[in-house]
Amino acid sequence: MEFTKMHGLGNDFIVVFGEKQLPADAAELAVKWCNRFFGIGADGLVYILPSEKADFQMRIMNSDGSEAEQCGNAIRCVSKYVYDHGHVTQEQITIETIGAGVQPVSLNIRDGKVETVRVDMGEPILNGLQVPTTVDANPVLDHSIEANGQEFKFTAVSMGNPHAVIYVDDAVNFDLSTWGPLLEVHPMFPKKINVEFATVRDRGYVDMRVWERGAGPTLACGTGACATLVSSVLNGHTDRTAVISLKGGDLHIEWSEADNHVYMTGPAEVVFKGVTS
């Protein structure tokens, strides 16, 4: 099978185009191919499929074989792939996701190739039971949670997939490997959770590091950046437009007052192409 290795700010994917539907063994293939020692190596396996509702549908299998409802970095990679390969010719396209529905995408073209992608990520879900969490509140702000004797405070946001945003003194050097796995599977999160650890530098700039559900620590998370901006606005930390600085680079996030939608702008890159054995 032919594939293209792509990444959005270091959050990397094996992208497959041409299948008519999600293969029955997609979960097993994701575990095999995403292995960084015995496979291709990636955070996830992404299938670009036909859609009756949009230009294309995106399905994402995490490196542990679970399926992600949405992924902001993956949708930028998918958008770049379909334009750069001539499957679409317009600069305004739509991508269907299983968690956030059909999302409009604007492509910034340079020298005939996609340079950056602006995605309408839709409206954030703030009702705790819908995120989902076990907390019956709307929104869930600064809520206490305990893991291994340590108390944290989180704000819950769904961007089509669930997020818990936690503010810490130093997100850049935070111990992800200790606390990420414990919080991901905490009983307060019935479908597990993506955990963002954030430090606000000023009203327009936030450092964030992420532990992704099903993938572990990644260099970037687009939906996590969106959730972090929404959380930061709700908690009074930032304005409605800010740079969310991830380990792999920066994303520009806006939470529009006009339509309540969150807009994400960032790059996508091709690493290499190959054929599986």
Q: Residue 5's pLDDT band (boundaries 50, 70, 90)?
A: very high
The annotation status of 62 as a binding-site residue, yes or no, is yes
The annotation status of 212 as a binding-site residue, yes or no, is yes
CB 242 within 8 A of CB 205: yes
Q: CB within 8 A of 277, min separation 6: which ones? A: none
Annotated catalytic residue, options 34, 71, 77, 226: 71
Q: How far is CA 119 from CA 74, 223, 235, in A?
A: 11, 11, 24
Identify the pLDDT of residue 9. 97
Q: Residue 265's pLDDT band (boundaries 50, 70, 90)?
A: very high
- Residues 24-49 have pLDDT tens digits of 999 999 999 999 999 999 999 999 99
Rounded distance, CA 267 to CA 270, Å? 10
- Residues 180-236 have pLDDT tens digits of 999 999 999 999 999 999 999 999 999 999 999 999 999 999 999 999 999 999 999
Phi and psi torsions of 30, nearest 5°: -60, -45
71 is catalytic: yes
221 is catalytic: yes
The annotation status of 8 as a binding-site residue, yes or no, is no
The annotation status of 138 as a binding-site residue, yes or no, is no
CB 222 within 8 A of CB 268: no
Go through the domains of the chain in sequence order and give each one's CATH number.
Answer: 2-121+266-275 (3.10.310.10), 128-260 (3.10.310.10)
The annotation status of 76 as a binding-site residue, yes or no, is no
pTM of the entire predicted model: 0.94
Annotated catalytic residue, options 34, 77, 221, 226: 221
How wide is the angle at C-alpha 171 spanned by C-alphas 155 and 252, nearest 5°? 75
Q: Residue 277's pLDDT band (boundaries 50, 70, 90)?
A: confident
